[in-house]
Amino acid sequence: MSPETPQFTCPLPVQQYANVVLAHGAGGNLMHRLIDDVFVKVFANPHQEADHDSAVLEHHGVRFAFTTDSYVVHPLFFPGGDIGSLAVYGTVNDLAVSGARPLYLSAGFILEEGLPVETLHRVTQSMQAAAQRAGVAIVTGDTKVVERGKGDGLFINTAGIGIVPEGVSSLPAQVRPGDAVLLNGDVGRHGIAVMAAREGLAFETTIESDLAPLADLVAQLFDAGLEVHCLRDCTRGGLASALNEIAKTAGAGITIDEKAIPVLEDVRGACELLGLDPLHVANEGRLVAFVAPGDADRALEVMRRHPLGGDATVIGTVTERTAAPVLMKTFGGIRILDMLSGDQLPRIC
Amino acid sequence: MRFVDEYRDNTHAERFARAIARITTRPWSIMEVCGGQTHAIVRFGIDQLLPDDITLIHGPGCPVCVTAVELIDKAIDIALRPEAILCSFGDMVRVPGSHKDLQAAKAEGGDVRIVYSPLDAVRLAGDEPDRQVVFFAVGFETTAPVNAAAVAQAARRGLDNFSILVAHVRIPPAIEAILSGPDNRVQALIAPGHVCAVMGTSEYEAIATQYGVPIVVTGFEPLDILEGIHMCIAQLEHGAAKVETQYARGVRPQGNATAMALMNEVFTVVTRKWRGIGEIPDGGLALADAYAGFDAERRFGLVDYTVTEPTECLSGQVLQGIIKPHECPMFGGRCTPEHPLGATMVSAEGACAAYYRYRRVSAA
């Protein structure tokens, strides 16, 4: 009944993709390799070495942060936000976690032929409301239109600048063994909210994105005179990607405790159903803070007093690098928490 | 979360671990068949909780991993045809075919769409009468009923632009192939809970008797698996070889009659090639004659397509439980999730992917 000798088979490996695949945009290993191989190598300059969410530049004694991000989210409107508020808060947050007070944004729009102007109105109104809430002004912009079928409705790019106050510095290179790792709230909401909206998955309760501007929370931490070494917002690729990126750039290790990471029951339920791991799901209102051990308790207090940090908690510590950049205490012991290579794909059975 | 948190309770896990250690008097090798169970074992470190005498062998229960290379190639062929829309479950898009995967085909312009249910593909066929919608019907007996329902629904609606590319595989013949193999070391089986929720447990009675192996139908949470292992060892220590059900909350001995009736109407049992193992008689399902019109291989003229595969990767040995993922020389080096050599590294439920993602460190 069984073969005499088992027929061992193996496909030719897909080592390199000649064309860009969707996984290249997922915030995981494949994307990082693309960035390193194609962009960083070619555009090489010292300002990239800090490897943080914004470039912090100095000119005539003034330090300012400069960043850009593009927004291609689909659907355009989802529970808790839309492409417009996302385009504002996402860039504001990239400035904030680099230590800057965000000031001005640009907004470039690529409109697909056929997009209702009414939709565009809704988006820009949302952007203006978001800008006001975040304390920034959208001062310049651009509009392009592409043919029907070439644009998925609407794409937005925002670039932002902010001033980094004297004495403030947030850099992966500053992270050192002993630092406490703080997280300002529960994870996994944004990715699930968008996926549910996109795929028409109706859960018993609607999961809303955690989309929010973090600049004020960050300012409170620095204004309190706390020794904050680095901040990073957790976006695509989730908490796991953010921690791995920092650990790799810093040449350090991070050990976290799975039980310490807050996840809403609804998000857990949705993830269980779809076979997803909340640690790899996108967020848009969450940051991790690497704080000197002596200031960890006070940092937690400051965060918890803020509306966007009520559930702030310590999730782990920075260590010397050991077996892998990020380790996690879990059910059966300690395991490696790596970035994923591409998107999480809902499982079959 | 009910039915999840209780079954992941650490304290109970440790009690089970101690109970297992108490009843184990000699070495035993147990195979868990289902990829979801493998993942739970590696993710929750179940193997680390067991006494050294117990060896867990990871079985071929990952339908993504065992889908024949020819079928991936056929799916890609279909996807690249302008008139076709190829609908698939998520994890199939990264499995390598002979030259590329569905993800690359999508990047080349193939219309590949990830769906959550075959019924979505039927709806799509209704919405797009000018396109040929093909659903890649992968899976064990777990997904066969809903795929059968999709075909039946398409038939009722009179849709002539819907077809399925059938890759279904059956568990019992694969278990027999493993147990009768020359290198078999498996002494007991943790059988897949969801397959048995559909099919019931009767197919396994004959296997338990013929091969003298205890078979325990088990769930997917850590406590389920620990309890299933405990039940296997209890039988082994007493020289028993029966079918028992640990996953009582999901499985009835008679299975799901409605699901089975639908499967028997739409599908028929055939010989099927399992990637990494070879042809297994009765190892798969194909469309029954009455529904042959919905067969994508026929519709697209791909019936006689075969592939000779290079013989290098050791997925086959992993799938049969002969080696563990980390014992493969390519593991973690030439073969990683970014550049997988075999399906077991690609699939979310593949043993190699599980080992890679949840790899352990000895230092605390």
> What local confidence, expressed as pLDDT, does residue A5 receive?
38
Q: Does A7 touch chain B (CB under 8 A)?
A: yes
Q: Give the 3-state secondary structure of residue A211.
A: coil
Task: Go through B163-181 and write b for each residue having 16 or more CB atoms within 10 A of its CB, e for each that does not.
Answer: bbbbbbbbbbbbbbbbbeb
Residues in chain A closer than 8 A to B360 (CB atoms): 333-336
pLDDT at B364 over 50: no
Residues in chain B closer than 8 A to A347 (CB atoms): 36, 89-91, 348-349
Structure tokens at A243: 């921690």
Q: Does A305 touch chain B (CB under 8 A)?
A: no
Eight-class DSSP state of B308: P
pLDDT at A56 over 50: yes
CATH superfamily of this structure's domain A172-336 = PurM-like C-terminal domain (3.90.650.10)
Q: How many CB atoms lie within 10 A of CB B23?
A: 13
Q: Which of 27-46 (A) contact B at CB < 8 A?
A: 29-30, 33
Q: How many CB atoms lie within 10 A of CB B306?
A: 9
Report residue A37's pLDDT band, with 50, 70 and 90 as the boundaries: confident
What are the pLDDT digits (tens) for B252-262?
Answer: 999 999 999 99
Quote the minimal CA–CA distance from B13 to chain A in Å.
9
A62-71/A55-59 β-pairing? antiparallel
From-to residues of CATH 3.90.650.10 in chain A? 172-336
From-to residues of CATH 3.40.50.11740 in chain B? 65-170+255-299
From-to residues of CATH 3.40.50.11750 in chain B? 10-57+174-245
From-to residues of CATH 3.30.1330.10 in chain A? 50-163
Rounded Cα distance, B115 and A190, in Å: 21
Q: How many CB atoms lie within 10 A of CB A249?
A: 19
Quote the minimal CA–CA distance from A240 to chain B in Å.
12
Answer yes or no: are the C-beta atoms of B345 and B335 closer than 8 Å.
Answer: yes
Contact B45 A346 (CB under 8 A): no
Quote the minimal CA–CA distance from B94 to chain A in Å.
9
Which chain B residue is nearest to residue A200, measuring alpha carbons? B116
Contact A6 B278 (CB under 8 A): yes
The CATH class, in words, for B65-170+255-299 is alpha beta
Answer yes or no: are the C-beta atoms of B216 and B191 closer than 8 Å.
Answer: yes
Contacts of A59 (CB under 8 A, 6+ apart): none
Which chain B residue is nearest to residue A32, measuring alpha carbons? B338
- Among residues A183, A191, A208, the alpha carbon closest in space to that of A276 is found at A191
Answer yes or no: are the C-beta atoms of B146 and B194 closer than 8 Å.
Answer: no
Backbone angles phi, psi at A148, to 5 degrees: -50, 135
What are the pLDDT digits (tens) for A264-283?
Answer: 999 999 998 888 899 999 99
Rounded Cα distance, A97 and A89, in Å: 12
Residues in chain B closer than 8 A to A338 (CB atoms): 357
- For tokens 């339920």, the residue is A269
> What local confidence, expressed as pLDDT, does residue A346 receive?
65
Q: Which of 173-202 (A) contact B at CB < 8 A?
A: 199, 201
Rounded Cα distance, A237 and A283, in Å: 9
Question: How far is CA A38 from its chain centroid?
Answer: 21
Report residue A78's pLDDT band, with 50, 70 and 90 as the boundaries: very high
Structure tokens at A321: 């690098």
Name the architecture of domain B10-57+174-245: 3-Layer(aba) Sandwich (3.40)
Contacts of B108 (CB under 8 A, 6+ apart): A19, B80
Structure tokens at A195: 């996926």
Which chain B residue is nearest to residue A33, measuring alpha carbons? B338
ipTM for the assembly: 0.75
> What local confidence, expressed as pLDDT, does residue A2 receive?
38
Question: How far is CA B118 from its chain centroid?
Answer: 17
What are the pLDDT digits (tens) for B149-184?
Answer: 999 999 999 999 999 999 999 999 999 998 998 889
Size of interface A-B (CB pairs under 8 A): 193
CATH number of A50-163: 3.30.1330.10
Quote the minimal CA–CA distance from A272 to chain B in Å.
9
What are the pLDDT digits (tens) for A107-145?
Answer: 999 999 999 999 999 999 999 999 999 999 999 999 999
Beta bridge partners of A128: none
